[in-house]
Amino acid sequence: MPDDIAQRTWVSRVLGVQFASRTQSSAFAAASQRWQQAGALATSDLAAFKAALLANSEVKADPRLNFVAASAIEIPNMLPRSTFDGLLRKGGGTPEATAKVLDSVASYRRELAATVRLGKLESFASGSLKTPLALRKTLTDAMDDIETTLRAAA
Protein backbone atom coordinates (compact mmCIF):
# COMPACT_ATOMS: atom_id res chain seq x y z
CA MET A 1 0.00 0.00 0.00
CA PRO A 2 2.76 2.52 0.76
CA ASP A 3 4.21 1.84 -2.71
CA ASP A 4 0.83 2.63 -4.24
CA ILE A 5 0.72 5.96 -2.41
CA ALA A 6 4.28 6.75 -3.43
CA GLN A 7 3.52 5.91 -7.07
CA ARG A 8 0.41 8.06 -7.08
CA THR A 9 2.29 10.92 -5.47
CA TRP A 10 5.07 10.66 -8.07
CA VAL A 11 2.59 10.50 -10.98
CA SER A 12 0.68 13.49 -9.60
CA ARG A 13 3.81 15.55 -9.03
CA VAL A 14 5.66 14.70 -12.24
CA LEU A 15 2.82 14.19 -14.72
CA GLY A 16 0.19 16.40 -13.13
CA VAL A 17 -2.40 13.62 -13.02
CA GLN A 18 -5.05 14.01 -10.34
CA PHE A 19 -6.40 10.90 -8.65
CA ALA A 20 -9.81 10.81 -7.05
CA SER A 21 -9.78 10.32 -3.33
CA ARG A 22 -12.06 7.76 -1.79
CA THR A 23 -13.92 10.64 -0.15
CA GLN A 24 -14.53 12.33 -3.50
CA SER A 25 -15.58 9.06 -5.14
CA SER A 26 -18.00 8.39 -2.29
CA ALA A 27 -19.34 11.93 -2.63
CA PHE A 28 -20.01 11.35 -6.33
CA ALA A 29 -21.87 8.12 -5.53
CA ALA A 30 -23.93 9.82 -2.81
CA ALA A 31 -24.71 12.78 -5.07
CA SER A 32 -25.75 10.47 -7.90
CA GLN A 33 -28.04 8.55 -5.58
CA ARG A 34 -29.56 11.80 -4.29
CA TRP A 35 -30.32 12.96 -7.84
CA GLN A 36 -31.89 9.61 -8.69
CA GLN A 37 -34.11 9.91 -5.60
CA ALA A 38 -35.19 13.40 -6.66
CA GLY A 39 -35.92 12.15 -10.17
CA ALA A 40 -38.03 9.29 -8.82
CA LEU A 41 -39.99 11.68 -6.60
CA ALA A 42 -40.54 14.10 -9.50
CA THR A 43 -41.74 11.23 -11.70
CA SER A 44 -44.12 10.08 -8.96
CA ASP A 45 -45.45 13.62 -8.47
CA LEU A 46 -46.02 14.00 -12.21
CA ALA A 47 -47.91 10.69 -12.33
CA ALA A 48 -50.12 11.83 -9.44
CA PHE A 49 -50.71 15.16 -11.19
CA LYS A 50 -51.69 13.43 -14.44
CA ALA A 51 -54.09 11.12 -12.59
CA ALA A 52 -55.68 14.09 -10.75
CA LEU A 53 -55.93 16.06 -13.98
CA LEU A 54 -57.69 13.29 -15.87
CA ALA A 55 -59.96 12.51 -12.91
CA ASN A 56 -61.05 16.14 -12.53
CA SER A 57 -64.78 16.42 -13.31
CA GLU A 58 -64.35 19.64 -15.34
CA VAL A 59 -61.59 18.12 -17.43
CA LYS A 60 -63.57 14.89 -17.92
CA ALA A 61 -66.58 16.89 -19.11
CA ASP A 62 -64.53 18.95 -21.57
CA PRO A 63 -64.89 17.80 -25.20
CA ARG A 64 -61.12 18.19 -25.57
CA LEU A 65 -60.43 15.42 -23.04
CA ASN A 66 -58.55 13.30 -25.59
CA PHE A 67 -56.31 16.27 -26.41
CA VAL A 68 -55.68 16.91 -22.70
CA ALA A 69 -54.84 13.23 -22.12
CA ALA A 70 -52.41 13.23 -25.04
CA SER A 71 -50.85 16.50 -23.89
CA ALA A 72 -50.43 15.23 -20.34
CA ILE A 73 -47.94 12.67 -21.63
CA GLU A 74 -45.66 15.54 -22.67
CA ILE A 75 -45.63 17.26 -19.27
CA PRO A 76 -42.37 15.58 -18.09
CA ASN A 77 -40.67 17.12 -21.13
CA MET A 78 -41.15 20.53 -19.53
CA LEU A 79 -38.28 19.75 -17.21
CA PRO A 80 -34.85 20.67 -18.57
CA ARG A 81 -32.53 17.77 -19.34
CA SER A 82 -29.76 17.33 -16.81
CA THR A 83 -26.20 16.68 -17.94
CA PHE A 84 -24.71 16.40 -14.48
CA ASP A 85 -26.45 13.12 -13.68
CA GLY A 86 -24.33 11.43 -16.35
CA LEU A 87 -21.21 13.08 -14.96
CA LEU A 88 -22.07 11.85 -11.47
CA ARG A 89 -22.66 8.29 -12.67
CA LYS A 90 -19.40 8.39 -14.61
CA GLY A 91 -17.69 9.25 -11.35
CA GLY A 92 -14.13 10.36 -11.19
CA GLY A 93 -14.21 12.59 -8.20
CA THR A 94 -11.19 14.61 -9.32
CA PRO A 95 -11.23 18.35 -8.74
CA GLU A 96 -11.79 18.84 -12.48
CA ALA A 97 -14.72 16.40 -12.51
CA THR A 98 -16.18 18.05 -9.43
CA ALA A 99 -15.90 21.48 -11.08
CA LYS A 100 -17.65 20.16 -14.20
CA VAL A 101 -20.51 18.75 -12.14
CA LEU A 102 -20.89 21.96 -10.13
CA ASP A 103 -20.92 24.03 -13.35
CA SER A 104 -23.51 21.70 -14.83
CA VAL A 105 -25.66 21.91 -11.69
CA ALA A 106 -25.53 25.72 -11.87
CA SER A 107 -26.55 25.60 -15.53
CA TYR A 108 -29.45 23.24 -14.78
CA ARG A 109 -30.53 25.47 -11.90
CA ARG A 110 -30.73 28.46 -14.29
CA GLU A 111 -32.67 26.45 -16.89
CA LEU A 112 -35.11 25.21 -14.25
CA ALA A 113 -35.69 28.74 -12.95
CA ALA A 114 -36.32 29.96 -16.52
CA THR A 115 -38.97 27.31 -17.23
CA VAL A 116 -42.01 29.57 -16.91
CA ARG A 117 -44.48 26.86 -17.97
CA LEU A 118 -43.40 24.74 -15.03
CA GLY A 119 -44.37 27.48 -12.59
CA LYS A 120 -47.75 27.79 -14.26
CA LEU A 121 -48.22 24.04 -14.08
CA GLU A 122 -47.39 24.02 -10.36
CA SER A 123 -49.84 26.89 -9.73
CA PHE A 124 -52.58 25.12 -11.69
CA ALA A 125 -51.96 21.87 -9.81
CA SER A 126 -52.20 23.42 -6.37
CA GLY A 127 -54.96 25.91 -7.22
CA SER A 128 -57.32 24.10 -9.56
CA LEU A 129 -56.60 20.47 -8.78
CA LYS A 130 -55.72 20.85 -5.09
CA THR A 131 -52.77 18.54 -5.82
CA PRO A 132 -49.50 20.18 -4.79
CA LEU A 133 -46.79 19.74 -7.38
CA ALA A 134 -43.43 20.87 -6.05
CA LEU A 135 -41.10 19.85 -8.85
CA ARG A 136 -38.86 22.90 -8.59
CA LYS A 137 -38.48 22.46 -4.83
CA THR A 138 -37.76 18.75 -5.14
CA LEU A 139 -35.09 19.30 -7.76
CA THR A 140 -33.64 22.43 -6.16
CA ASP A 141 -33.34 20.71 -2.77
CA ALA A 142 -31.51 17.82 -4.43
CA MET A 143 -29.15 20.20 -6.24
CA ASP A 144 -28.45 21.97 -2.93
CA ASP A 145 -27.59 18.62 -1.35
CA ILE A 146 -25.39 17.63 -4.29
CA GLU A 147 -23.46 20.89 -4.19
CA THR A 148 -22.98 20.61 -0.43
CA THR A 149 -21.82 16.98 -0.69
CA LEU A 150 -19.33 17.64 -3.47
CA ARG A 151 -17.93 20.81 -1.93
CA ALA A 152 -17.46 19.10 1.44
CA ALA A 153 -15.49 16.29 -0.19
CA ALA A 154 -13.29 18.59 -2.28
Number of other CB atoms surrounding residue 89 within 10 Å: 13
Q: Cβ(31)–Cβ(146) under 8 Å?
A: yes
Ordered by start, the domain boundaries in the chain are 40-153
Q: What distance in Å separates the CA atoms of residue 97 and residue 48, rounded to the nearest whole number?
A: 36
pLDDT tens-place string over residues 57-114: 999 999 999 998 898 888 888 899 898 889 888 877 678 889 999 999 999 999 999 9
pLDDT at 2: 47
As a whole number of Å, the CA-based R_g of the chain is 21
> What DSSP letter does each residue of 32-63 carry, written as one string?
HHHHHHHHHHHHHHHHHHHHHHHH-HHHHHST
